Structure 1
Amino acid sequence: MKSREIVTRFKKSSASQGDQQNCVEVAHTADGGRAVRDSKDRAAGTQFYGAGAWGAFLGAVRGGRFGG
């Protein structure tokens, strides 16, 4: 199943470095989507998002729709 084939290393956001405790790590999947996991509890599992869903999420973040 290509959508769950992780093709890059997981990477933590540069904004999450240092003393930040609430961090996620993201990796690319073979179908252009992303795999996301909690950096503090990697054994808890990984969530997978298709390319369209990931693009919509990034658009919402860039558009300020999450109030941050």
Structure 2
Amino acid sequence: MEIMRRKLARSLQHEIKDVLAHVAVTHRDLVRQFNRRFDDHGGKGPVLDPTQVMNALMSVTSS
């Protein structure tokens, strides 16, 4: 069960990285913020929730 949880967590991290890659050109500062949070921990850093990423993107877009 633990192995499956880790695989799912890694899968979510890759999904988040993909989303951030697609908006890197228009939202560079936001992408840097999330990448820094992830990279500061050697790629094992705080698990980002896809909802957090989407909410941050929407708040930047709506301002």
TM-score w.r.t. the length of structure 2 is: 0.36
Relative to its length, the structure with more helix (as a share) is 2
TM-score (norm 1): 0.35
Higher normalized strand content (fraction of residues)? 1
